[in-house]
Amino acid sequence: MKPVPPTINIFFLIFKWNINSKFIKSFYHFFLWHDIYLKFNFKHSFEKIDFNEKPKDKINLIYHTTPWRGLTLLVKIFKNLNLKNVELNVCSSTIIYGKKFDSVLGKKFEDIFNECKNTKNINYFGFLENKKIIELLKKVHIFSHPSIWPETSCISAIESMAAGCEVVTTNLGALYETCSPFGTFVNFDRNINNLEKSYSKVLLNSIKNYWSDENQNKLKLQREKINATYSWDKRSFEWKNFFNKARKLKI
C-alpha cells in the first residue's frame, strides 16, 4: 500500500549539481514515490549592482564568506606571496549565524581572525552587513576563494561577479556551475599542500594579468551577464511564471 503523500509537492534545487548530493540521493526514490516535482535552477537574486571603476594604485583581494570555507589556506598563500601593492580584505565571522552559533564555534576561529588582524596588508573587517559588502566589492578587483567546502550556490561569488570582480576559486561543489564561464578555476585537491601550490600559481597569474585588455573585456561581459541573469527584474518574472504553471500541475 502506497504511503500517504507528504505535504511537500515541489522541491527546489538551486543547481543541477545538487542532484548528486548525498541528501538528494538519499531521498531521490522517496521523491519519485510521492510524485514530488524536482525543480532546478532557481538561483539567488539580488538588486542590480552598479559598476564603479576599480582603483589602479593597487590590487584589492577580498574574502567575504565563512572562515571554514578556505580562509586559513588563503591567508597562508597570501603571506607566502608577499606581494607589493596587493591587499587582502577579510570579511568573515561566525556571528553571521547568530550569537548562539558564535558562542559555540567562534573560539575555534579566533586564531585565524587574530592572524588576519596582525598581518601586514590584510584588512580584517569581521562581520559586515550586505550593503557594506556590496560597496566594498565595487572597489575590489579579485574575490580570492580557495574553497575547500562543497558550495551549492555561492552568493558571495555571484555578487562579486556582478560587481566586476574576477573570481579565483576551486571547482568544488557547484562553484563551477555557479561561476562558469567567467570564473578562474583551480582543480580541487584533498591534499591541502597540493591545493596551496596550484591555487597560489593561479591567483598570482590573475593578479598580474588583471589589467590586461582580454581580462577587462571578460569582466565587462561578466558583470553585464550576471546582473541581467540574477537581478530581481528577471527572477521575479520567472517565479511568477513558475507559480502560474505550478497551480496547473497535477502534483
Task: Let me know whether 127 and 200 are in one domain.
Answer: yes
Is 3 a member of any domain? no
Range of the domain at 80: 59-229
Task: Let me know whether 73 and 166 are in one domain.
Answer: yes
Is 50 a member of any domain? no
CATH number for position 141: 3.40.50.2000
Is 54 a member of any domain? no
Task: Let me know whether 37 and 116 are in one domain.
Answer: no
Q: Model-level pTM?
A: 0.84
Q: How many domains are there within the chain?
A: 2
Task: Let me know whether 133 and 198 are in one domain.
Answer: yes
Mean model confidence pLDDT for the chain: 86
Is 219 a member of any domain? yes
Tell which wins on pLDDT, 250 or 164: 164
Contact between 136 and 128 under an 8 Å Cβ cutoff? The reply is yes
241 pLDDT above the threshold of 90: no
219 pLDDT above the threshold of 80: yes
pLDDT for 149 equals 93
One-letter amino acid at 13 equals L
What is the SS3 string spanning 181-241? Answer: CCCEEECCCCCHHHHHHHHHHHHHHHHHCCCCHHHHHHHHHHHHHHHHHHEHHHHHHHHHH
Task: Let me know whether 88 and 33 are in one domain.
Answer: no
The residues facing 46 across adjacent strands are: 231
Task: Let me know whether 144 and 237 are in one domain.
Answer: no
Task: Let me know whether 178 and 94 are in one domain.
Answer: yes
Mean pLDDT is lowest, of 28-37, 183-192, 219-228, for: 28-37
Is 99 a member of any domain? yes
